[in-house]
Chains A and B, each alone.
Chain A
């Protein structure tokens, strides 16, 4: 039973447009959420996070939105760049520093 779900295996976006990656979770005890980015032959790297006390966190071109009532979060990338092409993993934790539960990932392709 997957507690963190990324229902879109892949997404293709034109350079300069917005990329929106979605993630749903089932465990109401999760209170910290993260997005990781993974290039081929490399380990995942931290991108952005959000605590459950907030509904939005922004870092440059990346913004994460959290809707606790819907148990849904999304990552917006604006504008998308070809270098953003990677696998994006959503992750959740019940306590910062505790184990992270990951989704299956979404492959983002940004076309130039």
Chain B
């Protein structure tokens, strides 16, 4: 298995633009998580899905953030409009009963 695959690896965008981050979880994993890493707060959970259904989105910072999981093999995190303070590394992780596996992350820079 190729692990959790995130794209793009790096994204630089201008303030106000829409940004879409993508994640392909490990096949057979029934939970998917989106985390954001910042220097101040470490890894913050934004939202997680169980069997494609959003279970807890209390970590989503604002209405500008939205996430979808249309099927078991794909999820997106969208920021619209983006702001400089959204600059961070965004990680996707999937899990089964044995534990979590993280993707390599997307480094987002909003200028």
- Consensus secondary structure, chain B interface: strand
Is A60's CB within 8 Å of the partner chain B? no
What residues of chain A lie closer than 8 Å to B91, measured between beta carbons? 43-44
- Contacting chain B: which of A67-75, A76-84, A102-110? A102-110
- For window 79-111 of B, CB contacts with A under 8 Å fall at 91, 93, 95-97, 99-105
Q: How many A-B Cβ pairs are below 8 Å? A: 52
Is B28's CB within 8 Å of the partner chain A? no
Q: B97–A97 contact, CB under 8 A? A: yes
- A21 to chain B minimum Cβ distance, whole angstroms, is 13
What residues of chain B lie closer than 8 Å to A86, measured between beta carbons? none
What residues of chain A lie closer than 8 Å to B48, measured between beta carbons? 99
- A90 to chain B minimum Cβ distance, whole angstroms, is 9
Q: B42–A102 contact, CB under 8 A? A: yes
B102's contact among A2, A43, A99, A105, by CB below 8 Å, is which? A43
Known pairs A96-B97, A97-B96, A99-B56; A105 contacts B42 (CB<8 A): yes
Interface residues, chain A, CB within 8 Å of chain B?
Answer: 2, 6, 34, 36, 41-46, 49, 89, 91, 96-97, 99-105
Interface residues, chain B, CB within 8 Å of chain A?
Answer: 4, 31, 33, 35, 40-45, 48, 55-56, 91, 93, 95-97, 99-105
